[in-house]
Homo-oligomer: A and B are copies of this chain.
Amino acid sequence: MLMSGPAVHPVEAPPPATDVAPPRVRMKDIQGMAGTSGALALRICQFVFAAVSLCVMATTSDFPSVTAFRCDSEFMIHNCDRNFLVLVVSYLVAAVGLQSMWSLSLALADLYALLVRRRFRNTGAVSLFAIGDGITSTLTFAAACASAGITVLIGNDLNKCNLNHCTRFMSATAMAFLSWFAVSPSFILNFWSLASR
């Protein structure tokens, strides 16, 4: 190098110091809390599983007004009005129906929140979501447990399994369990976001 004098290296100007306060963070937005894309994915899972469970029961060939197991001689011992099995099936259908409607509504709410780029800050809305999730998940879980117990008892111990019915009933039960698995994180995260504010 023949040049004398100091070699001056250009230095990037430091970013101007801002006195503007950073946006106030009220809570961490964990994926899965109401209004996030994770919540939307969970809601869609819940809706799909519950809807599949409902469809499996509804498309049984001899689906009467509300029950999948018709009052046929296969399962009937007493008169049909007092048939407990019909009651449990009706309850399962009602529970997954309620679950699918609830999940669809909240999926739409989450979709709207994502489109307008807002979060649900309203305590009332989040507590409504948490309470509704708690109720629907409890109902779905109870229906799934009861119908699982009854189906396996009929199929395994009593050996009275009309093949078509039992398979459909078990599929619907499995879908109800999967729907419950998807509701649980929603409930826990909504409850968490409610408690942590």
Mask: chain A, 43-78; 1 = CB below 8 Å from B; 0 = not:
000000000000000000000000000000001111
Cβ-neighbour of A150 out of B78, B83, B150, B194 (below 8 A): B150
**Copies of this chain assembled into the complex:** 2
* Contact residues in B for A196 (Cβ distance below 8 Å): 195-196
Would you call A141 an interface residue if the criterion is a C-beta within 8 Å of the partner chain's C-beta atoms?
Answer: yes
Report, nearest first, the 8 A-B pairs whose CB atoms are least far apart.
A146-B149, A195-B195, A145-B145, A84-B156, A149-B149, A192-B195, A195-B196, A142-B145
| Interface hits, A123-142 → B, CB 8 Å | 138, 141-142
* Contact residues in B for A149 (Cβ distance below 8 Å): 88, 145-147, 149-150
Would you call A107 an interface residue if the criterion is a C-beta within 8 Å of the partner chain's C-beta atoms?
Answer: no
Would you call A82 an interface residue if the criterion is a C-beta within 8 Å of the partner chain's C-beta atoms?
Answer: yes
Q: Interface size for chain A: under 10, 10 to 19, 20 to 34, or 35 or more residues?
A: 20 to 34
* Contact residues in B for A150 (Cβ distance below 8 Å): 149-150, 153
Contact A84 B195 (CB under 8 A): no
Nearest chain B CB to A172 CB, angstrom units: 14
Cβ-neighbour of A82 out of B147, B156, B188 (below 8 A): B156
Measured in the bound complex, the distance between the Cα atoms of B76 and A83 in whole Å is 22
